[in-house]
């Protein structure tokens, strides 16, 4: 080779090498930009599809299939920790269930170029709610964004499921209330006939002592059945949600606390015969406006419970006083202590405290009626119980004459007492 040609060839190579290197680098950047742009477009399309999903169904499988289809992945697995279900799409050489659950439990988020496998923990805020494992060519940023969109979709599904559950419970509650109402009405007629017949037999006279005792037993048990039926009927109507149902509408009237408490004690009859009941009225002639029938029902339940569960020989105290815009009723007795964890639950329908469920018969309905009667007035109920002070059931009933309406009751002294254990 001619020396001059060799020198010129080497010179050209030295000049072309940086140019070719820069061209290759630009080509890689351009290809990377195109890939990133395509992945962003796919991510937008994936987000659009998630917004159009029917969230009455579990979204996991649809999410896995959409991601694999849009991003051309070999395989993908999604783990929903709340439902504890794994959704997969594509061809896996191994079972992805353990792989994706390990990513969740060990909170592993990484990208392995050697195997083309990426892992992401799906989080809602700082809380892990699932995981994502995919095999294919995607950028770390895209993988993180996919996990974020899945997290939002999971959260939307849970919100929708909760709304559906609440609506189903509401409909079931309405149906239950309707059934109770119909049953109570159906029982009322034969119970009335039985009570009328037993009263007729008693008035006829000429009954032997044994016959008189049987008639008395029939009348007593028919009265108990009638009272239980009335409670069921009241529960159904208070919880029906029907604004036109009796008890759903208040029938306010002016009354006095002393006459109301006297009616409650008289109504208990034999159930309070052995009880030492004391009435405390700091304000004599305390008058207020409320639905008298509902308040009588509430206090009857409180006092009946006190008579059943208080220790023999102990005093029961019924108290009524004004507390701001409310009338605060309380029934105090000394008996088994109600555990702290049960002090809210005992007002739930059919729930009976473990401390008293074996000491006296009951249905678990009464206190739920008391609570509903208070809520109908926009009032509240609560209980305090300990070894030293005994047990006191409270009911705060807004005075409609002062409040002017059943809403907007301001905080009062009774509110302060609610926070007292």
**For residue 66, which phi and psi values (nearest 5 degrees)?**
-65, -45
Task: Please determine, for residue 196, whether its predicted confidence score (pLDDT) is greater than 60.
Answer: yes
Nearest to 102 by CA among 126, 82, 119, 125: 119
Distance (Å, rounded) from C-alpha 267 to C-alpha 313?
Answer: 21
Q: Per residue in 322-359, pLDDT tens?
A: 999 999 999 999 999 998 888 888 888 767 665 554 45
Q: Per residue in 108-142, pLDDT tens?
A: 999 998 889 999 999 988 899 999 999 998 899 99
Confidence class of residue 19 from pLDDT cuts 50, 70 and 90?
very low
Would you say the pTM of this structure is higher than 0.95? no
Distance (Å, rounded) from C-alpha 293 to C-alpha 320?
Answer: 17
Residue 88's contacts (CB-CB under 8 Å, 6 or more residues apart) are: 64, 75, 76, 77, 78, 96, 97
DSSP string covering 119-180: EEEEEETTEEEEEEEEESS--HHHHHHHHHHHHHHHHHHHHHHHHHHHHHHHHHHHHHHHHH
Distance (Å, rounded) from C-alpha 300 to C-alpha 323?
Answer: 21
Q: Per residue in 151-162, pLDDT tens?
A: 999 999 988 888
Q: How many CB atoms lie within 10 A of CB 401?
A: 13
- The answer to whether the CB of 123 falls within 8 A of the CB of 151 is yes
Task: Please determine, for residue 20, whether its predicted confidence score (pLDDT) is greater than 60.
Answer: no
Helix locations, 59-127, DSSP H: 60-71, 96-105
Q: In angstroms, what is the C-alpha Rg of the chain?
A: 37
């Amino acid at each position: 080779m001619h020396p001059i040609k060799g020198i010129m060839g080497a010179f050209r190579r030295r000049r072309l090498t940086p140019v070719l290197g820069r061209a290759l680098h630009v080509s890689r950047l351009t290809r990377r930009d195109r890939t990133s742009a395509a992945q962003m477009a796919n991510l937008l399309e994936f987000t659009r599809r998630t917004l159009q999903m029917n969230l009455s169904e579990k979204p996991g499988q649809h999410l896995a299939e959409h991601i694999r289809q849009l991003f051309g992945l070999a395989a993908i697995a999604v783990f929903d920790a709340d439902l504890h279900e794994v959704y997969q799409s594509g061809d896996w050489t191994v079972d992805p269930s353990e792989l994706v659950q390990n990513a969740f439990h060990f909170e592993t988020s990484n990208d392995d170029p050697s195997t083309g496998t990426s892992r992401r923990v799906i989080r809602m805020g700082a809380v892990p709610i699932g995981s994502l494992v995919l095999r294919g060519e995607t950028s770390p940023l895209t993988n993180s964004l996919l996990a974020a969109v899945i997290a939002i979709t999971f959260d939307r599904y849970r919100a929708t499921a909760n709304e559906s559950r609440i609506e189903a419970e509401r409909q079931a509650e309405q149906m239950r209330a309707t059934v109770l109402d119909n049953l109570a009405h159906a029982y009322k007629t034969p119970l009335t006939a039985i009570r009328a017949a037993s009263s007729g037999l008693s008035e006829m006279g000429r009954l032997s002592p044994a016959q008189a005792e049987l008639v008395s037993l029939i009348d007593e048990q028919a009265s108990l059945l009638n009272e239980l039926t009335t409670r069921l009927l009241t529960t159904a109507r208070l919880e029906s949600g029907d604004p036109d149902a009796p008890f759903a509408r208040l029938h306010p009237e002016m009354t006095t606390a002393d006459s109301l408490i006297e009616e409650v004690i008289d109504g208990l009859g034999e159930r309070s015969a052995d009880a030492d009941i004391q009435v405390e009225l700091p304000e004599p002639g305390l008058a207020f406006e409320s639905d008298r029938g509902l308040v009588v029902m509430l206090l009857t339940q409180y006092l009946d419970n006190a008579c059943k569960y208080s220790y023999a020989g102990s005093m029961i105290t019924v108290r009524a006083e004004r507390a701001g815009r409310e009338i605060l009723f309380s029934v105090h007795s000394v008996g088994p202590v109600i555990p702290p964890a049960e002090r809210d639950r005992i007002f739930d329908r059919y729930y009976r405290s473990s401390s008293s469920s074996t000491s006296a018969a009951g249905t678990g309905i009464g206190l739920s009626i008391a609570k509903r009667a208070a809520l109908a007035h926009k009032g509240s109920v609560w209980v305090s119980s300990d070894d030293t002070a005994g047990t006191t059931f409270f009911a705060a009933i807004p005075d409609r004459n002062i409040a002017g309406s059943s809403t907007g009751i301001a905080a009062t002294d009774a509110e302060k007492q609610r926070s007292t254990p």
